[in-house]
Amino acid sequence: MAATASDFQDRRFLKHVLDNLHGIVYLEPLFLKFIDTEQFQRLRDLKQLGLTNMVYPGAVHSRFEHSLGVYWLAGEAINKIKSYQGQELGIESFDVKTVKLAGLLHDVGHGPFSHMFESGFLPQVFGDKWSHEDMSVKMIDYIVDKHHIDIENGYIKRVKEMILASSKHVPQNAATEKRFLYDIVANGRNGIDVDKFDYIARDSRACGVGCNFHFERLMETMRVMDDEICYRASEYLTINKLFVTRADLHRTVYTHAKVKAIELMVIDALCKANADLGIADSIHKPSEFWKLDDSILKRIETTDNPNLKEAKDLILRIRRRDLYQFCNEFSVPKDRLEHFKVITPQDIICSQKAGDVTLKEEDVAVSTVKIDLTNDRNNPLERVSFFKDFESNEKFPIQVDRISHLLPAFFQDKIVRVYAKKPELVAAVSDAFENYQWKIYGRTEQVHATPEKKRRRTTRSLVLQ
Same domain, 105 and 235: yes
Same domain, 232 and 362: no
Same domain, 73 and 170: yes
Same domain, 132 and 217: yes
- End of a domain among 204, 233, 257? 257
Give the pLDDT score at 43.
Answer: 98
Same domain, 245 and 123: yes
- End of a domain among 257, 286, 314? 257
132 is catalytic: yes
pTM of the entire predicted model: 0.93
Give the pLDDT score at 452.
Answer: 85
Give the pLDDT score at 401.
Answer: 75
The answer, yes or no, to whether residue 60 has pLDDT greater than 80, is yes
Same domain, 236 and 351: no
Same domain, 43 and 174: yes
Among the listed ranges 35-44, 89-98, 370-379, which one has the minimum average pLDDT value?
Answer: 370-379
Task: Indicate the pLDDT class of residue 457, thresholds 50, 70 and 90.
Answer: low
- End of a domain among 202, 229, 257? 257
Q: Quick check: 224 and 179 in contact, CB under 8 A?
A: no
Give the residue-averaged pLDDT of 280-295.
96
Same domain, 93 and 193: yes
Per the structure, the complete domain to which residue 416 belongs is given by 324-373+411-465
Is residue 313 a part of any domain in this protein?
no
Of 440, 448, 370, 443, which Cα lies nearest the Cα of 411? 370
Give the pLDDT score at 464.
Answer: 41
Give the residue-averaged pLDDT of 22-37.
97
Residue 119 is classified by DSSP as I
Amino acid identity of 318?
Answer: I
Task: Give the H/E segment covering residue 416.
Answer: strand 412-420
Is residue 303 a part of any domain in this protein?
no
Q: What are phi and psi of 275, to 5 degrees?
A: -60, -40
The answer, yes or no, to whether residue 458 has pLDDT greater than 60, is no
pLDDT over 70 for what percent of the chain? 94
Is residue 432 a part of any domain in this protein?
yes
Same domain, 222 and 330: no
Which is the catalytic residue, given 22, 106, 132, 256? 132
Give the residue-averaged pLDDT of 16-30.
96
Considering only residues 45 and 464, tell me which one the structure prediction assigns the higher pLDDT: 45
The answer, yes or no, to whether residue 86 has pLDDT greater than 50, is yes
The answer, yes or no, to whether residue 281 has pLDDT greater than 50, is yes
228-232 and 386-387 strand pairing: parallel
Give the pLDDT score at 173.
Answer: 56
Mean pLDDT of the chain: 92
Is residue 312 a part of any domain in this protein?
no
Give the pLDDT score at 409.
Answer: 82
The answer, yes or no, to whether residue 461 has pLDDT greater than 60, is no
Q: Quick check: 125 and 280 in contact, CB under 8 A?
A: yes
Give the pLDDT score at 433.
Answer: 97
Give the pLDDT score at 207.
Answer: 97
Same domain, 345 and 221: no
Q: Quick check: 288 and 282 in contact, CB under 8 A?
A: yes
Per-residue model confidence as pLDDT tens digits over 357-388: 999 999 999 999 999 999 888 999 999 999 99
Give the pLDDT score at 176.
Answer: 65
Overall number of domains in the chain:
2
- The three state secondary structure string of 241-263 is HHHHHHHHHHHHHHCCHHHHHHH
Same domain, 460 and 338: yes
Per-residue model confidence as pLDDT tens digits over 154-200: 999 999 999 998 765 555 555 568 999 999 999 999 999 999 999 99
Per-residue model confidence as pLDDT tens digits over 382-432: 999 999 999 999 999 998 777 777 788 889 999 999 999 999 999 999 999
Residue 359: Cβ-neighbour burial (10 angstroms; 0-12, 13-18, 19+)? buried
Is residue 273 a part of any domain in this protein?
no
Q: How many Cα atoms occupy the beta-carbon half-sphere of 336 within 13 Å?
A: 16
What's 343's domain CATH number? 3.30.70.2760
Is residue 170 a part of any domain in this protein?
yes
Is residue 451 a part of any domain in this protein?
yes
Is residue 242 a part of any domain in this protein?
yes
Give the pLDDT score at 355.
Answer: 79
What's 180's domain CATH number? 1.10.3210.10
Same domain, 81 and 179: yes
| Strand blocks (E) in 298-373 | 325-331, 364-372
Per-residue model confidence as pLDDT tens digits over 108-163: 999 999 999 999 999 999 888 899 999 999 999 999 999 999 999 999 999 999 99
15-19 and 23-27 strand pairing: antiparallel
